[in-house]
């Protein structure tokens, strides 16, 4: 009986160790793949006609200010003002009817960018960007882009670059600052570990993105 119990414990420990190695391996593979392709300042990043701003809501589910949104907006404006992108795709979802503090993310991005001096006709609204997979696939299959600049925090840009490679898009990432709140940074880092595992599961299972071919919208309309 004791031997059987020990065997079960060792098997459980081995399974946990294997899972942790899998998670760490997925994370590090994405970091390695994006090495040298994310940038922290506009002077170094190459020019692309289109920037893809990967959306998040301007407010958190609890109704607080979302610094990740603010910093992505700031990064997009920096790129545009430096002449490193000419158009910005605001890729996200409309969650106004789904959640108490749900937001129309593409519209929020557009309004924030316009308030900072970017013309509305330079902004494309992508309402199918509810997942990074959808955003990247649509950039290729609907917008027909061969290259683009990703705009998000570094961890997100790294994962998006991996997906861009899968779709044959030559992508670089411009890194927005993370939240100044430490607990939010920790939470998003932990979430990213699982997001990368999910990405590889999508690749292994050949998951198709949930996009349509007729959903190109300019910033002045919806």
Contact between residue 179 and residue 82 where contact means Cβ atoms under 8 Å apart: no
Quote the tokens at residue 61.
């589910």
How many of the other CB atoms lie within 10 Å of CB of 59?
15
Stated length of the chain = 222
The rounded distance, in Å, linking the Cα atoms of 106 and 118 is 14
Q: What is the pLDDT of residue 15?
A: 75
Q: Indicate the angle between helix axes 132-141 and 154-166, nearest 10 degrees.
A: 40
Q: What is the pLDDT of residue 62?
A: 80
Q: What is the pLDDT of residue 222?
A: 36
The rounded distance, in Å, linking the Cα atoms of 4 and 55 is 51
Q: What is the pLDDT of residue 140?
A: 96
Contact between residue 79 and residue 51 where contact means Cβ atoms under 8 Å apart: yes
Quote the tokens at residue 130.
């509810």
The rounded distance, in Å, linking the Cα atoms of 53 and 120 is 15
Q: What is the mean pLDDT of each run of 10 residues along the chain (222 residues)?
A: 66 74 91 97 97 93 90 98 98 86 92 97 95 96 96 98 97 96 91 95 93 57 38
Domain count, the chain: 1
Sheet holding 147-153, edge to edge: 38-39, 170-176, 147-153, 50-54, 87-91, 123-126, 217-218
Contacts for 100 with CB less than 8 Å, ≥ 6 apart: 61
Distance (Å) of CA 163 to CA 23, 142, 143, 167, 179:
17, 16, 16, 7, 24
The model's pTM = 0.89
User: What CATH number is attached to the domain comprising 31?
Assistant: 3.40.50.620
- Residue 74: give the domain boundaries: 2-218
Q: What is the pLDDT of residue 221?
A: 40
Q: What is the pLDDT of residue 166?
A: 96
The strand ranges marked E within the chain are 38-39, 50-54, 87-91, 123-126, 147-153, 170-176, 217-218
């Amino acid at each position: 009986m004791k031997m059987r119990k020990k065997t079960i414990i060792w098997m459980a420990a081995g399974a946990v160790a294997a899972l942790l190695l899998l998670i760490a391996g997925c994370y590090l593979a994405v970091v390695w793949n994006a090495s040298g392709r994310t940038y922290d300042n506009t002077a170094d990043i190459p020019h692309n006609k289109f920037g893809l701003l990967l959306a998040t809501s301007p407010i958190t589910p609890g109704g607080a200010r979302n610094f990740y949104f603010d910093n992505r907006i700031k990064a997009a404006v920096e790129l545009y003002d430096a002449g490193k992108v000419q158009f910005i795709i605001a890729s996200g979802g409309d969650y106004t009817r789904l959640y108490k503090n749900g937001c129309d993310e593409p519209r929020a991005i557009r309004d924030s960018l316009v308030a900072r001096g970017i013309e509305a006709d330079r902004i494309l609204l992508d309402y199918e960007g509810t997942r990074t997979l959808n955003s990247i696939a649509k950039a290729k299959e609907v917008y027909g882009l061969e290259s683009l600049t990703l705009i998000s925090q570094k961890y997100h840009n790294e994962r998006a670059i991996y997906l861009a490679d899968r779709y044959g898009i030559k992508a670089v990432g411009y890194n927005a600052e993370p939240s100044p709140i430490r607990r939010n940074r920790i939470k998003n880092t932990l979430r990213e570990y699982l997001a990368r595992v999910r990405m590889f599961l999508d690749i292994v299972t050949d998951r198709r993105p949930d996009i349509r071919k007729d959903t190109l919208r300019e910033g002045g309309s919806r």
